[in-house]
Structure 1
Amino acid sequence: MLDEMSKQEKALLLLVFTALALYHVTELSAVSHASTLTITDALGRVVNLTRTPQRVVSLSPSITETLLALNLSNEIVGVDHYSYSDWFMNASSQFQSRNVTDVGGYWWSAISIEKILSLQPGLVLADAGAHRPLLNTFVEYNLTVVYLKGGSATSIEDVYSDIYTIGLIFNRTGEATKLINNIEAQLNEGKRLLSGYAGLSVLYVVGIYQGIWVAGKSTYFNDLVSRLGLKNAAGSYGWRAVSIEDIAAWRPDVVIVASMGVTREDVEKSGLASLGAKVVYLNSTETDILSRPSPLVALVPSVLYDALSKAVPLPTTTTTPQTATVTYTETKTETSTFTMTITIEKTTYQSSWVLALVVSSLVIAFAAGLLTGRRTKKG
């Protein structure tokens, strides 16, 4: 067919193919470079991300554990001090073997901005509670930062929000949804496991210093125990120090003491051991599980069951639970919903439309040329 075409027709055909190729390349460029993920972070800031981050600094153990649970370990180049020694998913060994940098912290005043800058991160993931004072510094050094609830979460929904936001940022929404579903399944099973303790009044003590520090209303712990059918004994709000008289008036059934520098001697001196309530001490791992708003929430029912069974043994006819584990297999549990502002914006290059018109014109001209040539030959 090409042999039968004139030089003019061949030249016109080559021009059409060249224009089509240029149009195709420009369209691909528009899709790959013009997509912007816009999210509203935990501080209400609008953050635009034009590409998937590849070098990430995490400043909170809760955030780090979510990254690990979503198989994003390889993207991490720096973490806070507590994340660096985390036992979850063998994090400490992973970070040491990959030379991940300990940037200090967890609290903002202990974070080394110099170390963060030396890593040249594509994204910093910060805690809305612990790292808010660093915002102006991040902006000053032109660091892209997204604030999550992290350790400042006050509900399980906050944990889900963090998981899904990280899934969005790294294009892992499918994995994030599966993780959320799995946690929901574990909590639903946990409520059944703890049904023998339904309504039991539990006080969570996290420190004894100038008073007795407890987890009150509007805290992550409060939401956890309520979800599992238990009652938070504390009548106060937030994490705050209260008096032994306050606690006596609340009449807790069980006092759970976190392993955060609180000794049995401290408990004796504070008067907690004289209230008539059963006192249970957690080890450091159990304290992490109960206190840290992260995928560790899936293990909370098992920890609470073990603690309460030491204080208030149930009848021996009750089925002994198996240790809960965090898995990521898909379940049929309905996905929890939560509010989040997410928009996807795409910029359309004007050159794409120009090329489209050029290509269309050339194709029409080429077709007309062929028809004219055939009619001339027939005539």
Structure 2
Amino acid sequence: MRERPLVAVLLAALLFLLAAAAQAVEIIDDRGMRVDIARPPQRIVSLMPSLTETVCALGACDRLVGVDDYSSWPPSVLALPHVGGLEDARVEAIVALQPDLVLVPLSSRALPRLQGLRLPVLALEPRTLRDVRRVLQVLGPVLQAGDPDLVWQDINREVQVAARKLPARLRGLRVYVEVGSTPFAASESSFIGELLVRLGAENIVPATLGPFPKINPEFVVRADPQVIIVERSDAAGLRTRPGWQRIEALRRNRVCALDPEQMNVLMRAGPRLGAAAHLLADCLEGRLADGSPGR
């Protein structure tokens, strides 16, 4: 009779071990390092807006205990502690939050120090559409919340809808997307450039210059884009740049001026890329030429 309780205890222990093993995940992150996740993290710090948005899209927003200074979507993350950016992440503040996982981009200056403190770090930095899907597929098993394939399908479907709504006469438009007033631009190899390809537009900045290169303003004059997409605060100064008055986009008033939140949507390689595709389509159609709200 005494053997039965012992067998039951052993069986329960075996089931517990099997359940724990089922939750354990082994990841190779963007450093090329193996990261072992023993159980779904419950206290997550995200140091990149697109990673913050991906965690939330996968249904684990309530596990975030801290985010970078630029994470702003969904609005609930605004109430969380903000711990700096790529150049100035406050490591002491991150440690104080007692995270069981820190999501950090490769380009963060804090990454070596976080590693040195032996914090549980997962380095991920989506830069292309393929990366967005890959990050979803990495974080899905890590979080064990949400379906990464469904999130990707939603993104892809919205991009397709944006492409279908664009009139055929607008396909092939030469486009210049400025992402910084120095100026820096989004090239063909950026995720923004990939969205433009999906929409049937022509990016004037070639992939060979890198995803977000610094551009010689004279290059833009020579390329003569038919549409310029820029943050609203920089739009007024375009006509004062030498030679830019000759650019077709300025002569025809085809400057799409985006407000800061619209730029956030466009600039983040994450689950809102479907909305970014709609913004680009609206720009190509001239719906946002006056800076009015888009979709």
State the TM-score, normalized to the length of structure 2. Answer: 0.88
* Structure 1 partner of 2:81: 101
Q: Which of 21, 35, 45 in structure 2 is aligned with 1:47?
A: 35
Letter in 1 for 2:268: R
Q: Secondary structure in 2 aligned to 1:295?
A: coil
Runs of 4+ in 1 over 4 A off after TM superposition: none
- C-alpha contact (below 8 Å) 1:273/1:279 kept by paired residues: no
Q: 1:169-184 residue pairs with structure 2 within 5 A?
A: 169-172=142-145, 174-184=146-156
User: Is residue 301 from structure 1 mapped to residue 277 from structure 2 by the alignment?
Assistant: yes
Letter in 2 for 1:22: V
Q: Which of 286, 289, 298 in structure 1 is aligned with 2:265?
A: 289
Q: Which has the higher contact order (CA 8 A, sep 6+)?
A: 1
Structure label with greater radius of gyration: 1
The alpha-carbon deviation at position 251 of structure 1 amounts to 2.6
User: Structure 1, residues 260-318: CA drift from partner, whole Å, max 9, x if none?
Assistant: x52412542354343122322111122112211111111123212322222899xxxxx
The alpha-carbon deviation at position 91 of structure 1 amounts to 3.0
Q: Which of 243, 261, 275 in structure 1 is aligned with 2:247?
A: 275
User: Structure 1, residues 91-145: CA drift from partner, whole Å, max 9, x if none?
Assistant: 35xx42xxx211111x1x310000000011000001123x1x4332112211011
State the TM-score, normalized to the length of structure 1. Answer: 0.69
* Structure 2 partner of 1:186: 158
- C-alpha contact (below 8 Å) 1:220/1:293 kept by paired residues: yes
- C-alpha contact (below 8 Å) 2:40/2:142 kept by paired residues: yes
- Seen in structure 2, the aligned counterparts of structure 1 residues 135 and 110 have a Cα distance that, compared at 3 Å, is closer
* Structure 2 partner of 1:149: 125
Q: 1:319-338 residue pairs with structure 2 within 5 A?
A: none
Q: 1:1-379 residue pairs with structure 2 within 5 A?
A: 14-35=1-22, 36-83=24-71, 86=72, 88-92=73-77, 95-96=78-79, 100-105=80-85, 107=86, 109-129=87-107, 131=108, 133-150=109-126, 153=127, 155-172=128-145, 174-196=146-168, 197-209=170-182, 212-235=183-206, 236-259=209-232, 261-277=233-249, 278-310=254-286
- Seen in structure 2, the aligned counterparts of structure 1 residues 190 and 263 have a Cα distance that, compared at 3 Å, is closer
2: CA distance, partners of 1:306 / 1:217: 19
Letter in 1 for 2:156: E
2: CA distance, partners of 1:268 / 1:195: 32
- Seen in structure 2, the aligned counterparts of structure 1 residues 64 and 276 have a Cα distance that, compared at 3 Å, is same
1: CA distance, partners of 2:104 / 2:288: 40
Q: Secondary structure in 2 aligned to 1:71?
A: coil
- C-alpha contact (below 8 Å) 1:204/1:258 kept by paired residues: no
The alpha-carbon deviation at position 249 of structure 1 amounts to 2.5
- Seen in structure 2, the aligned counterparts of structure 1 residues 251 and 135 have a Cα distance that, compared at 3 Å, is same
User: Greater CA deviation, 109-118 or 67-76?
Assistant: 67-76
2: CA distance, partners of 1:245 / 1:162: 37
